Every structure is written in C-alpha cells, then in structure tokens.
Amino acid sequence: MEQQYNTRLLEAYQRGYKMRYRDSQNPPEQKLYYFKVKEDLPRVQVVLGFLQGIVPAGQCQSLLDVGSGRGVFLFPLLREFPDLEVTSLDILPHRVELLQCLHDGGIRNLHPRLANICTWDAPDKSFDVVTMLEVMEHIPDTEAVVRNAVRLARNYVIVSVPSKPDDNPEHIHLFTNEDLKELFLKNGCNKVKFMSVTNHRVMVAYLN
C-alpha cells in the first residue's frame, strides 16, 4: 500500500528545505518520513482532545511545545489546529533546523526556538498553554523546568511522563501522581487533573 503523507506539512518542509540549503554543498538528509500519516499515540490523542475543548473557547490562542523532538505531538497539533500560534522549543539544533524549514516553507504560525526550558528567559505569561510531553523524565533539574513552564503559561501546563520503569537510559526520573501534583502546586498552579493513558501519566495543571 502506498504510504500517505501529511501533504500540507510535507510540501512546506520541502519548500523550506530548498530555500534554506540551496547554496549548501553538504545539506542534511531530507526527513520526509517524519510527515507520514500514522495513528496518533494515545497520550497525543488525550492531549489533543483536551485542546479541542479549550481552543474554540478562546483559552488557547498561543501554545509553547517544549521538547518537540521528532514531532510526535507537534505535527498532529499543527494538523488539528492549523491557525494556532505554536512556539516549539528544543535544545537540539538539527531539530530546530527541520522545524525552521517548515516555517520558511509556509507554516508561518510555527515559531521554532533553540533554547533550554530551564533557563529560557521569555517574558512571564507569554503563552496560553505550555505542553511538555515526554520531557520531564529527561531533565535533571525538575524544579527549574516546572518553575519556568508555570511562569511562561497563562492558563494551563500539560505534561506526560512514563508511569512505569523502562530501559531507556535517558529517563532519569519516574514520577508518581503525587510527585507531579506537589511540584506544580508549590510552583503556582491552583489544581491539577490526571487523565488515564496506558503506561503514561498525563496531567493538566490549571493556573486560573
């Protein structure tokens, strides 16, 4: 069966890639497979479902996605909300360059940034929503990441983390619901809500 692609994102990426690397003697490989259509992961489905309830209500007109990586959440987000202003934050230059190709190729509501969420000094309450899916378990200073994410958000912070031990050596934390609740409440959130996803914890922290 012929593989289907997200045509809008794929074509934007190809346009932006040609523009960005037209004078390069050694351009990076094109990552076309990132834009293949596949079923969204359960944790992504849950977060998109929550956003579908707050975007039309005007509670999410701008979103910061921390650690966008290969776009497992970011690309479905751009598909479902083509007009939402999305800033993507990552510490890996090649990830940011790929997303910059998308922006340059026509996805103008996507704003890639190379920065660390623990130290990024964007103004307070810059975004309605901050998402951090499969991010916190990688970061040594959990206090710093939570403190800055809450500082940057106006309405909600949404996180997902593994709920069981695994063999990923980059996972340096395993959070319980109580761990997450304590971290976010003591850093300024009013309440938290957990949603059930197999092998993962998905939590929404409310600021209002």
Quote the pLDDT of residue 1.
Answer: 39
| 19: nearest Cα among 112, 111, 103 | 103
Structural domains for the chain: 7-206 (3.40.50.150)
- For residue range 18-44, what is the model confidence (pLDDT) as tens digits? 999 999 999 999 999 999 999 999 999
The CA–CA distances, whole Å, from 60 to 16, 56, 89, 193, 194 equal: 27, 8, 18, 17, 19
Q: What number is the average pLDDT over the span 84-95?
A: 97
Share of the chain above pLDDT 70, in %: 99
pLDDT tens across 152-203, in order? Answer: 999 999 999 999 888 888 888 889 999 999 999 999 999 999 998 999 999 9
33 CB burial (10 A radius; 0-12, 13-18, 19+):
exposed
Q: What is the pLDDT of residue 171?
A: 85
b or e along 151-179 (b: 16 or more beta carbons within 10 Å of the residue's beta carbon)? bbbbbbbbbbbbbeeeeeeeeeeebeeee
Q: Could you tell me if 69 and 90 are in contact, meaning their C-beta atoms sit under 8 angstroms apart?
A: yes
The DSSP string of 41-81 is PHHHHHHHHHHHHHTTTTS-SEEEEE--TTSTTHHHHHHH-
